Amino acid sequence: METILAIETSTAGGSVARYEEGRVVEVIEFASDRQHHAMIFEPLRVALRRGAPDVVVVGTGPGSYSGIRVGIAAGLGISLAHGVPLIGLPSLTALGEAFGQERYAVTGDARRGAWWYAEVEAGAMVLGPVVEEEEAMARRVAAWPGHVYTLDGVSPGYCAARPVRPRADVLACRAGALTEQAVARAAAVETEPLYLRAPFITVSRKVEGLKRASV
């Protein structure tokens, strides 16, 4: 791979990076409070002015569902327009402060009174995300012997995790380390957000009532 365009939008601080011939040549960061649909286009325009990429990589989370979907949609559009592969990598493998560390753990708020946990080794997620209640999560994190990070703004109360953010330049480096075969396998799989829970669809009571009335 000669040129990689990386998009990371899983947190409130988004970024776009361009990787050429084994190194990052451009990084554009933007803060949007997770409203990436309005902020991502100018960074992408700047990153693409040097030419079309050979591969597009998108951070798949976990994190802001809407932010990740915007990043995937933007990456898909560029992939289709230029006829290049689109691949997704977990955002938690692209933490700037953890880059170069062989092993680390990441934990954070999963909402609805639960917390999530994952382990990364050699740039790949090897465990998780696991979702548990706070007491069980506290035991799990306490048993981890290495560095612990969180994508939240502050550390959870059950541990001393260092708040960090995923970065597109690190994501690009992760993609740059993949073989052509690994890229082809990843591109053959539909790029989807990394869900903490299985997605579900709810039906409003109003709609349910209409359905009953029409039977």
The string of pLDDT tens digits covering residues 104-153 is: 999 999 998 999 999 999 999 999 999 999 999 999 999 999 999 999 99
CB-based contacts of 88: which residues, under 8 Å, 6+ apart? Answer: 57, 58, 59, 60, 72, 186, 189, 191, 192
Range of the domain at 150: 96-163
Asked if 148 and 178 sit in the same domain, the reply is: no
Closest CA to 39 of 18, 66, 60: 66
Q: Inter-axis angle of helices 65-82 and 41-48, to 10 degrees? A: 30
My answer on whether 56 and 77 are in the same domain is yes
Looking at the fold, whether 57 and 110 belong to one and the same domain comes out as no
Q: Identify the weakest region by mean pLDDT among 14-18, 62-66, 107-111.
A: 62-66
In a shared domain, residues 106 and 147: yes
Quick one: tokens of 47? 């990153």
Q: Which residue has the tokens 């990429």?
A: 53
Q: How many domains does the chain have?
A: 2
The CA R_g of the chain, rounded to the nearest whole Å, is 19
Q: Are residues 159 and 176 in the same domain?
A: no
Which structure tokens are listed for 141?
A: 């994190």
